[in-house]
Structure 1
Amino acid sequence: MSISENLQQIKSSIPKEVTLIAVSKTKPIADILEAYNAGQRIFGENKIQEMVEKHEALPKDIEWHMIGHLQSNKVKYMASFVNLIHGVDSLKKLQEINKQALKNNRIINCLLQIKIASEETKFGLSPNETTKLLTSNDLKELKNIKIIGFMGMASFTDNETIIKNEFSLLKNYLNSSKIYISENFNPTVLSMGMSGDYKIAIEEGSNMIRVGSSIFGNRNYN
């Protein structure tokens, strides 16, 4: 099926309250335009330089989400336009985002990445580290960021019970974290679920899914 047909199929199968991010990393401008022309407006990239180039070349009503592991020294390149940064896993990175947001007279929305998978390769904060961050005085000083929820990646496995339990863990943590709501922390977004597991993620409470290969076909590695 075409990109537009894939999009239509996915959108018709998910609840209206679930936000679909089309993961366009490594994909050419032509593919993104096809998705755009089919009505998609939210795209996710995992490399800042690639996202900057695409932002410059494509329509300005696109919302760009940074979904990859974040390098603090490159935040400045996207600070003027990025809509949401998903993979924030330290206070230091929040401080850099805040610094660059201030320079651009913006408040940048962020998600804290929580480590829910048992795999060593997955990044993220533990629940205990997250609680410590959310209750710190250092966080209260950051006026140009807003943490609007959490992001998590399940284990790469065919065992649906493991995936379900990991997603459930993150949903439960989001609910329990609401006691820490503050001026720059108000968790309403739960970003979990990709092409292979987004249906399970939605069942477990996800309201934002990151789908790449099911829309654009297999990824072009570079």
Structure 2
Amino acid sequence: MPLAERYAHVKAGIPPNVTLVAVSKTRSVAEIQSLYDLGQRHFGENYPQELREKQPVLPHDIAWHFIGHLQRSNVKHIVPFVHLIHGVESERLLEEIQKRALAEGRSVDVLLQVFIAQEETKHGLSPAELRSALKTWPWAAWPNVRVRGVMGMATNTEDRSQVQGEFESLAALWAELRSTEVFPRDQFTELSMGMSGDVDLAIAAGSTMVRVGTAIFAAR
């Protein structure tokens, strides 16, 4: 199936109020440009070096999402242009993002990563850790960091009821955090969950942002 058909098929299943992030890690500049030419503007990358190489040679109105595990040493490489950092889970990382964003004279949007899966390979704060962080972390010390919401990845399993339950629990936590108004409600608007295999479940649970790679670009 051609790229245009795969893209149209994916788009058809995503409501207009949900942001589609095309996961373009390991994909060529030409592949990304082809999808851009079809109208896609949000792209997600997992590796800082790869993102640094692609960003200058692709259209400057692309909204680049960093969706991998970000080490503090790499923050400085993506802060000048990144649209949204999806996986923030520590004070030290927030401190580094603040430092680099201040130096660039800009604000950087981030999502707090929540651990919802039944597998140890996933990153994130537990719901209890996140509730504690909202009360104890020095959020006012990071004025150049805008917390836009939360993100989480479900367990990689064929059990769709388990995945559905994990998404619903994250959606409930997001709603709870919005009600506390630690962050302004009109800022804390993003619930990022759902990938190629479980987009439908994520959207049904209330996701505002999904990350899709294989279903668009096809498996290698």
Instruction: Quickly name the TM-score band, shorter chain normalised.
Output: over 0.9
2:141 aligned partner: 141
Gaps of 5+ in 1: none
Tell whether the 8 Å contact from 1:134 to 1:180 is kept in structure 2 after alignment. Answer: no
Kindly state the Cα deviation for residue 11 of structure 1 after the two structures are TM-superposed.
1.1
CA distance in 2, matches of 1:218, 1:183: 39
1:207 aligned partner: 208
AA paired with 1:149? Answer: G
CA distance in 2, matches of 1:175, 1:15: 20
Percent identity reads 46
Tell whether the 8 Å contact from 1:135 to 1:180 is kept in structure 2 after alignment. Answer: no
1:179-218 pair list within 5 angstroms: 179-182=179-182, 186-218=187-219
Kindly state the Cα deviation for residue 183 of structure 1 after the two structures are TM-superposed.
5.4
1:55 aligned partner: 55
1:127-138 pair list within 5 angstroms: 127-138=127-138
Kindly state the Cα deviation for residue 180 of structure 1 after the two structures are TM-superposed.
3.5
CA distance in 2, matches of 1:147, 1:69: 17
2:102 aligned partner: 102
CA distance in 2, matches of 1:70, 1:156: 21
Task: Give the TM-score of the pair, scaled to structure 1.
Answer: 0.95
Structure 1 residues 137 and 199: CA distance shift in structure 2, 3 A: closer
Kindly state the Cα deviation for residue 26 of structure 1 after the two structures are TM-superposed.
0.3
1:162 aligned partner: 162
Tell whether the 8 Å contact from 1:143 to 1:184 is kept in structure 2 after alignment. Answer: no
Tell whether the 8 Å contact from 1:145 to 1:184 is kept in structure 2 after alignment. Answer: no
Tell whether the 8 Å contact from 2:147 to 2:183 is kept in structure 1 after alignment. Answer: no
AA paired with 1:26? Answer: T
The superposition leaves residues 39-86 of structure 1 with CA deviations (integer Å, 9 ceiling, x where unpaired) of 000100000110111101101010000000111110000111000000
Asked if 1:10 is matched to 2:28, the reply is no
CA distance in 2, matches of 1:159, 1:79: 37
Kindly state the Cα deviation for residue 118 of structure 1 after the two structures are TM-superposed.
1.2
The superposition leaves residues 137-176 of structure 1 with CA deviations (integer Å, 9 ceiling, x where unpaired) of 5122110001110110000001011000000010000011
Corresponding residue pairs, total: 219
AA paired with 1:9? Answer: H
CA distance in 1, matches of 2:164, 2:183: 32
Task: Give the TM-score of the pair, scaled to structure 2.
Answer: 0.96
| C-alpha RMSD of the superposition | 1.3
SS at match of 1:85: strand
1:85 aligned partner: 85
Gaps of 5+ in 2: none
Tell whether the 8 Å contact from 2:91 to 2:137 is kept in structure 1 after alignment. Answer: no
Structure 1 residues 166 and 137: CA distance shift in structure 2, 3 A: closer
Kindly state the Cα deviation for residue 184 of structure 1 after the two structures are TM-superposed.
7.1
CA distance in 1, matches of 2:170, 2:137: 24
CA distance in 2, matches of 1:28, 1:196: 23
CA distance in 1, matches of 2:164, 2:3: 28
Tell whether the 8 Å contact from 1:142 to 1:184 is kept in structure 2 after alignment. Answer: no
AA paired with 1:52? Answer: R
